Each structure stands twice: as C-alpha cells, then as structure tokens.
Amino acid sequence: MSSPLPLRRRTALLQLAALTGLAGLHAGCAAAVQQPLLDMQLVDRDSGATLTQYPGRGRRYSPGTPGSRYAIRLSNRSGERVLVVLSVDGVNAITGDTAAFNQSGYVLSPGESYDITGWRKSDQQIAAFEFTSLGDSYAARTGRPANVGVIGAAVFREVYVPPPVVDEAPPVSSAAPMAPSPMARLNGAAADAAAPARESAGRAEAERSARAKLGTGHGAAEWSPIAHTGFQRRTPQPDQLLEIHYDSQANLMAAGIMPRPMAQLPRSFPNSSGGYVPDPPPRW
C-alpha cells in the first residue's frame, strides 16, 4: 500500500488509482452530508481577484475575461482527507480523458486549500488554464465541444482505517487491512432542426455564438510539482458534486444572470463648493 508523502502546504497530492474492491455503480450520488466537504472558486490569476458567483437557473455562474489565466481554488472544509476528481469543460484535468467519477483526482488534507492552475502534463508541469473562445478551447480542439463552459468537482471521502492497537490485541482480527490502491500512469452539435429556408441563418447564428462563448484553453507550460498517494474511496459515487458554469460578462448579462451596470443617475449636489450663481455662457 502506498503511503502519503510528506509535502509542503502548496504541493498537491495526486491520486491516480482506479476504484478497487467496489461493486457496481448505484443510480444516484451518495446521500448528502450535513456540511459541505469542499468549496470551489475561480480565481483570476492576473488580478488575484476571486470571480463572483451569480445564481441563475439553478446553477452558479462566474464571468471570465478572454485571454486571462485562471485557477480553480479547492478548499477542504472537512476534518479528513478527500479526493477531488476535477472536470474542466467535460475533460479530466489530470488525464485529459472525457470526465467520469472513477478517474484520477487531487487529494486534499484536512483543512487544505490548493489552487489548480492548469492541465496536468507531468509530475512537474501543467499547461495553464486560460479563458479563450470555444473554438480554441482544449475540449473543442480535441473534438469534445459539447460540455464547454462548466467546471465540476466530484468529491469522495476515504475509507476509514482504525489505528493499530498498541496494547494487547484480541485473538481474532476485527477487520482485514485496507487493500492498496493500484497506481496508474499519467496520460499525458446537435443537428439543426430549422426549416430549410432558415438553415443558413441558423448555422450563421450558431457559428457566431460559438465564437462568442468562452472555453478553457491549453496555455503556456508552468512549473507545478505534485506527489503521489494512495486513496481508497468510501463509495463509488461522490459524496458531494460541485459545478461552476462560466462565460463572458457580456454573455452572462445578455442571459439575465449578471446585472447590467446602472447608468449614472443625476445627483442633487454634484459639487458642494460655495459662492454665487454665475452667469451662463452667452448665446451665439
């Protein structure tokens, strides 16, 4: 069984194990926990600002700026280790596979926060997350544009293993030891239903929308070291599932999700300086 490696606070633990010793998948997610295990936020790396989340249509939305680098901030609010399988535009941020619950993820220690800044390329490097057009997103460039615009985190709790007994042990073992998690190697539209007379217009509108919609690009290489650890999931389905949808500010305002900026209203006292009323300029 692999052991957790001693790491600095800003070094993530990467869990690369497939599910072991688990039965078939159940229909729904595991029962909701009383307190959330994880918080997730998007951070603009160029300004350092946390992107506001706006509720709408039963979801949460954050505005992105084209060309800006961003990070996904994961904060473990629990008192135990958790595994976070991270999906960006429907793609696993570690393996590059189409995202699924049973894939590799990041392991966070109790109370730990960590910024995921890009697509995992190796144990030392990532390719930076950056807001870009849909057509230039990593998902679209690899033939998977359907889920561009959403970031998801599937959170798993760990199987509890009792600490070893140091005094006299009972003659019969109370439980079998936890099976080790096998380590894996890192791996590097709908049809138009409009009438024929409207087909061209519909295609042009779809292309315009695709150009305007934001996605996540495969940015410049950056140094971001990780270490490996074992992790056995308590259940095959996540204990918590988080999603943040994102798009440009203009698109979110057009959709009614973000409030539009209010026009400057007239003020009754725009200048409080003293004196008397001067004459107006002469008429020509």
Question: What's the one-letter identity of residue 256?
Answer: G
pLDDT single digits (tens) 165-206: 665 544 443 333 333 333 333 333 333 334 444 455 444 444
Strand partners, 183: 17
Residue-level pLDDT at 177: 37
The closest alpha carbon to 126, from 223, 7, 217, 44, belongs to: 223
Residue by residue, pLDDT tens for the chain (284 residues) are: 343 343 444 455 565 543 433 333 343 444 444 689 999 999 999 999 999 999 998 999 999 999 999 999 999 999 999 999 999 999 999 999 999 999 999 999 999 999 999 999 999 999 999 999 999 999 999 999 999 999 999 999 999 877 776 655 444 433 333 333 333 333 333 333 344 444 554 444 444 444 479 999 999 999 999 999 999 999 999 999 999 999 999 999 999 999 988 776 777 877 766 677 888 888 86
Asked if 59 and 149 touch (Cβ cutoff 8 Å), the reply is: no
Residue-level pLDDT at 35: 87
What is the token pair recorded at 79? 């008192």
pLDDT single digits (tens) 47-62: 999 999 999 989 999 9
pTM of this structure: 0.69
Strands (E) in the chain, as ranges, are: 12-15, 38-44, 54-56, 59-64, 70-76, 82-88, 91-92, 105-108, 113-116, 118-120, 125-133, 150-157, 214-223, 226-229, 240-248
pLDDT single digits (tens) 8-22: 444 555 655 434 333
Q: Please name the residue that has the structure tokens 């943040």.
A: 244
Residue-level pLDDT at 279: 81
